[in-house]
């Protein structure tokens, strides 16, 4: 059950980075929903590499072929399967890595688990490539959510030591669209320039940097989610931590709430336009695991790309002796900006699942 | 599916704070495991209130009665049900809250979800009281794990602005036992004194504070967990976020990894005693969702107790107008220290589930 | 995950026949549903032993105590836990059975699975006693379903070689109520007399007999269920086969459909009162796993009680040699009539789960 | 969750009869298992149409393309995805059916469920075509099971009124192989001739017939399965009822056990070659939901093909008035013989899942 999530909406992801294709099966989509394939394609391209000077020039083919579930542009009730062929494979780059696991990668743990039979070329099933089919699922979910008045957006909150501004208390669809239109999705373009410089510096030194993504969803009705382990935080975190390289997730004020007093962190209830709202949103729109109608806000920490050009210490698994490793090939010096739509996709898929559960 | 988790080991929690009892059903426990009830009781008492001057004097009864699954002190293969009676109920304290939801609590969201039928006395099913049966499950899991050489421990990493020291790179069972024996579980007792002062200050002002818990597990074999959504982080976070008041979860370096470079964050592989190890542990023992044999480390952020004595702004749901609220009764000015064994319990239950899956 | 079922409505059953109690946790019940405890009690008594001369006089206590989930007679959204104490335990009757497994019972398979640690007194967790908490869940589900216009009823279709009449094509709530009111639930009382004679004969000879239960549900809207493995038949059969002693399940014409031609078995569509109906119901109300609005009909085969007074051949597990076994104590010569409400309960719980899923 | 099953081994099936492809994702396959593609192909051809004069000549392409999970002929730990293209589509045959649902088909229930958006050409996601990817999963499972000494086989137990002989008490791999090699898989070839005549007669009259399949598995260790709803019968039946047209499932003596006395139905324990066995097998190898080491035996009833050439009564959904329907195109007068490998596939997939759970 490793590569699936969801209750009503089941998302099942398959593929290896250097196999013939990656893809997704989505079972439980509502029927009769129009999928705008051009809009989906634009969403997928936000994740694609080679989009700017900061990404690897490797050309992936992020044009999904729909094998089932979509007829005349409408979902038909049957499980939807979308396949993305893998075209640009440089397997030889990875042959040397079979014996000497790359630090920070799943090479060693996959070797322990699957006894050397894992197809770990390019990271195999652990590769960031697998976020492409997740984005297909999330991109479809975003379109359906938008028709229900629910919008999901995200920006790059930090890269290395440089921080973007935070989302305003009540972000809206227009702001999300503006973020989606930027090649480097930040609120403060000056901060964005500093972030790019951090990435460029790391690249020059054969190194990489991490970052944090802030994501929000607006338009969610109050009352979605369940107590305890079925809560919004549990459901969302389980999927967000399934994105490769995510090592931390927080909701609302998150870790900083632990520094506050109750009188600061509690969000007072108030009335606005006849609706119960809160005048601050440290809760990130979630109380007791259940939405309160305020914007859902969360942040996900993405570790620096483990593939770096600098020589690293590792071991030879066959000889059980130390080995120095230099990873060749071209690698993203930062994946956090490419992970922005992936976080949106994960959140959108979970939200649609929750709304479908009712 | 709100109050359950686990695959092989299914943990299902029931009860309301002011109902007649809370309890847990654990299905899938291995048979023939001895449960030391005195050891379990000592574990439960670490969570119990009234343990020191910083906690509410409310006397809960944390002595579980076993209705099934345990015969002559051994698990018997059938689902285990343990019940904790609720004795000390002051329902009148809460009657005024039915119409005016407490900021930071689930009062409002439960009202939206269940249309006013929720039994929200004392927080109802959302109450911290529900962590008692979780501790029964986790305490049992800890005993079984210990026989397999797996030990779980935790300490209070911060309260408000005050930080404890961090766990050493390779904590062990003795250190965990030392933490468990302390009424206020910190590594640095001087820091502990400062934390207690922070709590006492907040209490004096009718306020509350949050904190962070660091948890570790040692002795786990490499190769446990699955890729993507079945990964260790996903499985653990889904349960940790089910603990009331947890708003952030991070593994290894977590959010601070996002500030690092790859060359800093990657843990070099090395050999120690003929075993593959890493010379640092920013990964928190998890690569690609799968254990690498290093200590599993994580941190959970606990928000400040939402029940505070200070007057707060809220609304009357019946009259749809602003209302000031003063929460009466006695409340913990901090729950983070009491949440230390709860985090251990959640982690232990998930680890046993994962080990049973094989 | 052995003793649980359901998606939105999770039913988790615990207990051993001779432990201190059996019970059930039901998570996901809609909130605000009134539970009529007297009506529930009458339902539970249909299952209880000692109801007529054909049942064992063993006095069980089928009066549930509600630990959670029910406040002032209404469900409150939190998981409901109901406990039935076990009072009448004659453990000594079973001591001799530990080494020599009873034919037709789970003694041997539990011994293999749990290495002798199973609490198999009275059948342990495999006992028919565990159908009492299932009936609590099903009895509650029946009350909620009735308020939605869905009624579930059943009768004893056969005992040994004697057959009752079949349900009419469109049974209704009144017929179900009439069946529920009878101590021996058959349509044709003359057939019922013959069935009783079959049971009495078997009892006299220290033997037992099996039977078949026919169950129907009316008032279900069309469109409930899913294709393939989420279909009505799959969902219902998985729970029905969880009832001890059930060895066969069929829907509509079932096995006899395999003897028919398509032109006989296909149910022609027709219009009645402006509604699409079928003029026959070989499909048992299910096409492609989804309800078609006709009565849901199914039959479950119950094997003869394995506990019989006649001497039987078995083996001593400790000495690995043949052993003759005579089961002492009083046992039902037939459990099929007591299983009638249990089948209703299982069906009702699954139907409520499906309706809650929407 | 309609088109998925399994715990450790998750099988997720997608596709519509007349979409571009059908396929399957199998998550959780053990790594390093060799898949003999020629053997798999031979297995798939047992299900394929056009194999003998009794089947429709429609040419399906049952040659799976593996998109993931298989590297150099070995499973690699990542989810396996296999796709079967749909080539031979005569959609025009089905256009007339959109408004007038075919009796015995899911046309009407899919229309109710999905509001007319369902792609029901050729039966859509409800088509027997979807059993092809199930056979891919089952064929792979059979190969892995065989290496563990577990063999699954089946034969056609009846067609219309004609019965084959029953499996012997202890069938073996050689017998299963003999059945698999026959174009018409029966034990008694004279009975097979009578069955064929029954099918030919029905075909001549524009009608169809049903049948029963008997399936057995040998080599299973004792102790597999769980009590109650996790029992072998529950797990197997849930998947078997997911096969289109299956309306009844029974284990061991099944429905006929309900006619027996306990002294007849109980299987006496005995010792053979130092192993605990039973001298009869009315239990079908399952006691209390758990395997007892005897052959697992079950029977599944397949209704007559609903697509028949004879005119049938139906209704026009747009005009809500009666309508006569004549289904054109070529259809199998019997699908029971083609369902024999499908039942084997379903059983094999469930058994591998259970064995992987341990």
Inter-chain residue contact C262 with D222, CB threshold 8 Å: no
Instruction: Give B-chain residues touching D357 at CB under 8 angstroms.
Output: 8, 357
Q: What is the ipTM of this complex?
A: 0.96
Q: Is B303 exposed, middle or buried (0-12, 13-18, 19+ CB in 10 A)?
A: buried
Q: What is the pLDDT of residue C90?
A: 54
Per-residue pLDDT reduced to its tens digit, C183-197: 999 999 999 999 999
Q: What is the pLDDT of residue D297?
A: 98
Instruction: Give D-chain residues touching B7 at CB under 8 angstroms.
Output: 7
Q: What is the pLDDT of residue A97?
A: 61
Q: Is residue B71 within 8 Å of B346, Cβ to Cβ?
A: no
B31, B67, B124 ranked by CB distance to C115: nearest: B31
Instruction: Give D-chain residues touching C1 at CB under 8 angstroms.
Output: 7, 226, 229-230
What proportion of chain C, given as a percentage, has pLDDT over 70?
94
Q: What is the pLDDT of residue A149?
A: 98
**Token duo for residue C277:** 């109906």
Task: Give D33→chain A minimum CA distance, Å.
Answer: 9
pLDDT band at C297 (very low <50, low <70, confident <90, very high): very high
Q: Is C280 exposed, middle or buried (0-12, 13-18, 19+ CB in 10 A)?
A: middle
Q: What is the pLDDT of residue D292?
A: 98
Q: What is the greatest pairwise CA distance in chain A?
A: 71
Residue A277: strand pairing partners = A270
Average pLDDT over residues B144-150: 98
Q: Is B314 left (phi over 0), alpha (psi -120 to 50) or beta?
A: beta
* DSSP tag of D32: T
Helices vs strands, H then E, count in chain C: 9, 18
Confidence check: pLDDT of A218 > 70: yes
Confidence check: pLDDT of D121 > 90: no
pLDDT band at D90 (very low <50, low <70, confident <90, very high): low
User: Which candidate in A227, A231, A290, A355 is best for mutational testing of the C interface (most C CBs within 10 A)?
Assistant: A227
Inter-chain residue contact C8 with A227, CB threshold 8 Å: no
pLDDT band at C62 (very low <50, low <70, confident <90, very high): confident
Confidence check: pLDDT of B31 > 60: yes
How would DSSP label each residue in B251-319? ETTGGGGGGSBHHHHS--EEEETTEEEESS-TTTTEETTEE-SSPEEEEEEEPPPS--SS-EEEEETTT
Give the angle subtended at the CA of C10 by the CAs of C4 and C16, to the nearest 5°.
35
Average pLDDT, chain B: 93
Task: Give A31→chain D minimum CA distance, Å.
Answer: 6
CA distance A74 to A70: 5
CA distance A131 to A176: 20
Instruction: Give D-chain residues touching C304 at CB under 8 angstroms.
Output: 257-258, 260-262, 264-266
pLDDT band at B95 (very low <50, low <70, confident <90, very high): low
* DSSP tag of A271: E
Q: What is the pLDDT of residue A330?
A: 77
Residue C184 CA, distance from chain mean position = 15
Q: What is the pLDDT of residue A92?
A: 52
Q: Is residue D79 within 8 Å of D68, Cβ to Cβ?
A: yes
Average pLDDT, chain C: 93
Q: Is residue B118 within 8 Å of A287, Cβ to Cβ?
A: no
Residue A298 CA, distance from chain mean position = 12
CA distance B316 to D56: 70
* DSSP tag of A149: T
How would DSSP label each residue in A302-339? EPPPS--SS-EEEEETTTTEEEEE---S---S--HHHH
Q: Is residue D84 within 8 Å of D16, Cβ to Cβ?
A: no
Average pLDDT, chain A: 93
Inter-chain residue contact A108 with B161, CB threshold 8 Å: no
Residue C66: strand pairing partners = C82
Inter-chain residue contact C110 with B77, CB threshold 8 Å: yes
B161, B230, B284 ranked by CB distance to A2: nearest: B230
In terms of Cα–Cα distance, which of A202, A336, A212, A166 is closest to B255? A212
Q: What is the pLDDT of residue D61?
A: 57
User: Which candidate in C241, C271, C285, C312 is best for mutational testing of the D interface (most D CBs within 10 A)?
Assistant: C241
Inter-chain residue contact B114 with C67, CB threshold 8 Å: no
pLDDT band at B320 (very low <50, low <70, confident <90, very high): very high
SS3 for B32-58, per residue?
CCECCHHHHHHHHHHHCCCCCCCCCCC
CA distance D298 to D249: 7
Give the angle subtended at the CA of D66 by the CAs of D62 and D71, to the nearest 5°.
140
Instruction: Give D-chain residues touching C105 at CB under 8 angstroms.
Output: 287-288
Q: What is the pLDDT of residue A120?
A: 83
| Paired sense of beta strands B70-71 and B162-163, if any | unpaired
D94 three-state secondary structure? helix
Q: What is the pLDDT of residue A64?
A: 96
Q: What is the pLDDT of residue B57?
A: 53
Q: What is the pLDDT of residue B118?
A: 84
Enumerate the H helices of chain A as residue ranges: 37-47, 92-95, 107-114, 131-147, 173-181, 189-204, 232-240, 262-265, 336-357
Confidence check: pLDDT of D54 > 90: no
Inter-chain residue contact C290 with D101, CB threshold 8 Å: no
B358 three-state secondary structure? coil
In terms of Cα–Cα distance, which of B111, B33, B101, B18 is closest to B70? B33
A78, A227, A358 ranked by CB distance to C358: nearest: A358
Q: How many domains does chain C have?
A: 1
Query: Chains near C, with 3+ CB pairs < 8 A?
Result: A, B, D
First to last CA, chain B: 24
Task: Give D242→chain A minimum CA distance, Å.
Answer: 15
Q: Is residue B75 within 8 Å of C117, Cβ to Cβ?
A: yes
Q: What is the pLDDT of residue C120?
A: 83
Lowest mean pLDDT among A41-55, A252-266, B294-308, C17-31: A41-55
Q: What is the pLDDT of residue A138?
A: 98
Per-residue pLDDT reduced to its tens digit, B43-74: 999 998 765 556 555 555 589 999 999 999 99
What proportion of chain B, given as a percentage, has pLDDT over 70?
94
Q: Is residue A300 within 8 Å of A248, Cβ to Cβ?
A: yes
Average pLDDT over residues A209-238: 97
Task: Give D129→chain A minimum CA distance, Å.
Answer: 13
Instruction: Give C-chain residues touching A357 at CB under 8 angstroms.
Output: 8, 357
Confidence check: pLDDT of C85 > 90: yes
Q: What is the pLDDT of residue A93?
A: 52
Lowest mean pLDDT among A74-83, B92-101, C159-168, D239-248: B92-101
D87 three-state secondary structure? coil
Q: Is residue B156 within 8 Å of B195, Cβ to Cβ?
A: yes
Instruction: Give D-chain residues touching A134 at CB under 8 angstroms.
Output: none
CATH of the domain at B212: 3.60.150.10
Per-residue pLDDT reduced to its tens digit, A288-329: 999 999 999 999 999 999 999 999 999 999 999 999 999 888
Q: What is the pLDDT of residue B92?
A: 52
Confidence check: pLDDT of B302 > 90: yes
pLDDT band at A1 (very low <50, low <70, confident <90, very high): low
pLDDT band at C171 (very low <50, low <70, confident <90, very high): very high
Q: Is D154 exposed, middle or buried (0-12, 13-18, 19+ CB in 10 A)?
A: buried
Cβ atoms within 10 A of the Cβ of C87, count?
Answer: 11
B24 three-state secondary structure? strand
Q: What is the pLDDT of residue C315?
A: 97
Q: Which helix (H) or strand (E) holds D168?
A: none
pLDDT band at D87 (very low <50, low <70, confident <90, very high): confident
More confident residue, C115 or C350: C350
CA distance A62 to A304: 24
Instruction: Give D-chain residues touching C110 at CB under 8 angstroms.
Output: 227, 288, 290
**Token duo for residue C35:** 């539970």
Q: What is the pLDDT of residue B50?
A: 62
Q: What is the pLDDT of residue C52?
A: 57
Confidence check: pLDDT of D56 > 60: no
Q: What is the pLDDT of residue A57?
A: 53
Q: What is the pLDDT of residue D115?
A: 82
Task: Give C84→chain A minimum CA distance, Å.
Answer: 26
Which residues span the domain enclosing D250? 4-357
What separation in angstroms does the CA of B267 have from each of A101, A108, A321, C74?
A: 11, 12, 17, 56
Confidence check: pLDDT of D89 > 80: no
Confidence check: pLDDT of A161 > 70: yes
pLDDT band at D338 (very low <50, low <70, confident <90, very high): very high
Lowest mean pLDDT among A78-92, D142-156, D225-239: A78-92
Inter-chain residue contact B257 with A233, CB threshold 8 Å: no
Residues 6+ apart with CB under 8 A from B6: B28, B349, B350, B353
Instruction: Give B-chain residues touching D7 at CB under 8 angstroms.
Output: 7
């Amino acid at each position: 059950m490793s590569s699936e999530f969801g209750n009503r909406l089941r998302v099942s992801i398959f593929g290896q980075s250097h196999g013939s294709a990656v893809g997704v099966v989505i079972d439980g989509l509502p029927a009769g929903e129009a999928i705008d394939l051009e809009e989906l394609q634009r969403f997928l391209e936000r994740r694609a590499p080679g989009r700017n000077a900061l990404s690897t020039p490797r050309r992936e083919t992020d044009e999904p072929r729909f094998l089932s579930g979509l007829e005349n542009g409408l979902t038909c009730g049957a499980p939807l399967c979308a396949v993305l062929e893998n075209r640009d494979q440089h397997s030889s780059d990875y042959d040397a890595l079979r014996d000497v696991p790359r630090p920070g990668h799943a090479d060693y743990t996959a070797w322990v688990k699957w006894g050397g039979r894992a197809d770990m070329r390019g990271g195999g099933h652990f590769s960031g490539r697998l976020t492409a089919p997740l984005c297909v699922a999330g991109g479809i979910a975003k379109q359906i959510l938008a028709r229900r008045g629910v919008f999901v957006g995200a920006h790059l909150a930090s890269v290395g030591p440089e921080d973007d501004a935070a989302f305003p208390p009540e972000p809206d669809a227009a702001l999300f669209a503006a973020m989606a239109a930027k090649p480097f999705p930040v609120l403060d373009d000056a901060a964005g320039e500093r972030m790019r410089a951090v990435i460029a510096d790391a690249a020059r030194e054969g190194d990489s940097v991490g970052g944090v993504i802030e994501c929000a969803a607006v338009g969610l009705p109050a009352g979605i989610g369940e107590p305890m382990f079925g809560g919004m935080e549990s459901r969302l975190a389980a999927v967000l931590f399934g994105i490769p390289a995510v090592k931390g997730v927080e909701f609302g004020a998150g870790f900083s709430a632990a520094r506050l007093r109750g009188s600061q962190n509690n969000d007072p209830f108030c009335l606005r336009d006849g609706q119960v709202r809160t005048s601050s949103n440290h809760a990130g729109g979630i109380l007791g695991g259940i939405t309160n109608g305020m914007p859902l806000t969360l942040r996900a920490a993405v570790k620096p790309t483990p593939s770096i050009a600098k020589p690293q210490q590792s071991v030879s698994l066959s000889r059980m002796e130390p080995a120095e490793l230099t990873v060749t090939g071209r690698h993203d010096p930062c994946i956090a900006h490419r992970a922005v739509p992936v976080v949106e996709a994960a959140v959108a898929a979970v939200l649609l699942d929750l709304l479908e559960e009712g």
